[in-house]
Amino acid sequence: MTTSPAQDAPSRDTSASFLGPVDLTGMDALFSAEEKQLALDVRALVDEVIRPNIADWYDRAVFPTEIVPELGRLGVLGMHLHGYGCAGRSAVEYGLAAQELEAGDSGLRTFVSVQGSLAMSAIHKHGSEEQKRQWLPRMAAGEAVGCFGLTEPGAGSDPASMTTTARQEPGGDWVLNGTKRWIGLATLADVAVIWAQTGEHGDGRGVRGFVVPTDTPGFSAEAIAQKLSMRASVQCEIRLDGVRLPADAILPADSALGLKGPFQCLNEARYGIIWGVMGAARDSFNAVLDYAHARTQFGTPLAAFQLTQAKLADMAVAINKGYLLAHQIGRTKDAHGTTPAMISTGKLDNCRVAIGIARDAREMLGGNGITLEHSPLRHANNLESVRTYEGTDEVHQLTIGRALTGIGAFTAAGVRP
C-alpha cells in the first residue's frame, strides 16, 4: 500500500494554520474562509489595541472603556443574536471571536460575554418588543452597556436561594430591594437585568427578570477592589434600595418564568467560555514556545531540552483536544442546539485544561514568568475567575452526573429541603 508524501512527512507545516503552531491536528481545515476571516479581524483588534496596553491596564486595575465602541464597530456585541442591530453570526463564529478576545485577556472576553450573552440575550430571549427596540441596537453598537444581576452575597451556586425581592404595588409599579454581588460591568452599565423573587414561596419558581435603567433612584453599584484576578475588568456589588419601576419593566415572556430564564442566558455565556479559555491557553503556549527558542541555559536553547519538549507536547495535545471539543459543541449548537450537560462538559474541562496550561507555561518561564512582561501568569490568575463564574467545577460535574444517572445530587439528600 502506498501512502502520500503528506502522510509520511515527519512533521506537518503548521505555519499556515490560522491557529498557529499549536495546530497539530489540521484544525484549520475545520473552519470556512469566512469564519477564519472573522477570527483574524478580531485578532487584529486585539493585537493593535489590547496587547500593547494590557499589562498596564492589568497593573493599574483599569478596564479600558474606550474599546467598547470599537467592539461595537467590529460587530462582536450580541453577535449571535438576530435583528435589532445585532450581527446574526453563528455559534462557531461567536466562539472563534471569544477565543481571540481571551487570547488578549479574559477580562476583555468577559466584557463581551456579559454584554452580549447575558444582558442582551436576556432582553432578546425574554423581553418585550419595546424593551428590545429600546436597548438592543444601542448595546450592539457599544453605545450602551448592560449588566446581569443574578448572583448575591449569599446565593452563588444556588441562585434559587436569592433574597432580592420584587413586590408589585396596587398601581402596578414594581419595587426592588436587595443586593447583588460579582456583577460584571455594573458601575459602567446603562441598564441592568435584575433577577428577583416575586413569589410567595421564596424559591426559584417565583424568580422574574426586570430591565432596570441604572439611573433609577435607589440603584447603586460599587466596584469590588483588591482583586488578584481579572484586574483589567470590573466586577461589582449592586444595591437595590426601594428601586421603583413601571409595570412594564418586567421581562414578560413565558420563557422567563422561574430560574430557567437566567439559566438560558448562562448557557450562552458558558458556551463562549468553552472557546474563550482555549484562546488564553493558546496565547500561553505561544508565549512559552517563543521563550523556549530565545532563552539559552547551559549553552542550549530551552527548546532543545527533552523536558521542555515533553511539556510543550503535552500542552499542545491538550489544546488540540480543547479546541476539538469546542468545535464539536459549536457545530452541534448551530445544527441542533445544545443540552446543559453538553455545555457543562465543555466549560468544566476546557477551563481546567486552560488553567493547567497557563500555570505550566508560567513555570517554564522561570522567574521571568512572574511579571506582566509575559502573559501566562496573568491568564492563569484570570482563569481562576473564569473557572469559578458561570458555574464552578462542582456545579458542572453534578450537572453531568445528573445527566448520566438521572439523579440530581446538588443537595446532600438529592432534593431541595
How close are the terminal C-alpha atoms of the chain, in Å? 66
Per-position b or e across 98-110, b if 16+ CB within 10 A of its CB: bbbbbbbbbbbbb
Residues numbered 202 to 261 that lie near ligand TGC (CB under 6 A) are 204, 235, 258-260
Between 272 and 340, whose beta carbon lies closer to ligand TGC? 340
Name the residue with the smallest CB distance to ligand TGC.
184
Q: Considering only 37-45, 46-54, 146-154, 348-356, which stretch makes contact with ligand TGC by CB under 6 A?
A: 146-154
Contact call for residue 182 and ligand TGC (CB under 6 A): yes
Run of H or E residues at 384: helix 376-388
Between 244 and 416, whose beta carbon lies closer to ligand TGC? 416
In terms of Cβ atoms closer than 10 Å to its own Cβ (0-12, 13-18, 19+), residue 62 is middle
For the CB of residue 209, give the shortest distance to ligand TGC in the complex, in Å.
13
Contact call for residue 163 and ligand TGC (CB under 6 A): no
- Number of Cα atoms under 13 Å in the Cβ half of residue 156: 11
Judged by CB under 6 A, the residue of 90, 99, 106, 151 near ligand TGC is 151
β-pairing, 191-197 vs 146-149, is parallel
**Catalytic residue positions, numbered:** 390
Contact call for residue 411 and ligand TGC (CB under 6 A): no
Contact call for residue 400 and ligand TGC (CB under 6 A): no
Contact call for residue 408 and ligand TGC (CB under 6 A): yes
Between 131 and 235, whose beta carbon lies closer to ligand TGC? 235
Grid cell digits, residue 119: 444582558
Between 125 and 374, whose beta carbon lies closer to ligand TGC? 125
Between 23 and 390, whose beta carbon lies closer to ligand TGC? 390
Q: What is the DSSP string of 201-235?
A: S-SGGGEEEEEEETTSTTEEEEEPPS-SS-TTS-E
CA distance 313 to 287: 14
Contact call for residue 410 and ligand TGC (CB under 6 A): yes
The single-letter DSSP state of residue 76 is -
Q: Considering only 154-162, 330-338, 351-359, 372-380, which stretch makes contact with ligand TGC by CB under 6 A?
A: 154-162
Contact call for residue 264 and ligand TGC (CB under 6 A): yes
**Cα-based angle 78, 274, 17 (whole degrees, multiple of 5):** 95
Between 20 and 401, whose beta carbon lies closer to ligand TGC? 401
Q: Considering only 52-60, 126-134, 147-155, 221-229, which stretch makes contact with ligand TGC by CB under 6 A?
A: 147-155
281 close to 104: Cβ distance less than 8 angstroms: no
CA distance 326 to 303: 29
CA distance 181 to 184: 9
Between 160 and 303, whose beta carbon lies closer to ligand TGC? 160
Can you give the C-alpha Rg of the chain in angstroms?
Answer: 22
Taking the C-alpha atoms of 358, 359, 364 and 368 in order, what is their torsion angle to the nearest 10 degrees? 90
Between 18 and 410, whose beta carbon lies closer to ligand TGC? 410
Contact call for residue 403 and ligand TGC (CB under 6 A): no
Grid cell digits, residue 169: 404595588
Count, residues near ligand TGC per rule CB under 6 A: 29
For the CB of residue 142, give the shortest distance to ligand TGC in the complex, in Å.
17
Residues numbered 371 to 390 that lie near ligand TGC (CB under 6 A) are 389-390
Judged by CB under 6 A, the residue of 85, 263, 331, 356 near ligand TGC is 263
Q: Considering only 35-43, 66-74, 158-166, 353-361, which stretch makes contact with ligand TGC by CB under 6 A?
A: 158-166
Q: Which of 263, 295, 324 is nearest to 118 (CA)?
A: 263
Contact call for residue 183 and ligand TGC (CB under 6 A): yes
Contact call for residue 368 and ligand TGC (CB under 6 A): no
CA distance 77 to 85: 10
CA distance 348 to 341: 10
Residues numbered 328 to 367 that lie near ligand TGC (CB under 6 A) are 340
Contact call for residue 184 and ligand TGC (CB under 6 A): yes
Residues numbered 109 to 128 that lie near ligand TGC (CB under 6 A) are 110, 114
108 close to 34: Cβ distance less than 8 angstroms: no
With cell 412594564, the residue in question is: 248
Taking the C-alpha atoms of 255, 256, 258 and 263 in order, what is their torsion angle to the nearest 10 degrees? 90
Positions that interact with ligand TGC (CB under 6 A): 110, 114, 148, 150-151, 157-160, 182-184, 204, 235, 258-260, 263-264, 266-267, 340, 389-391, 395, 399, 408, 410
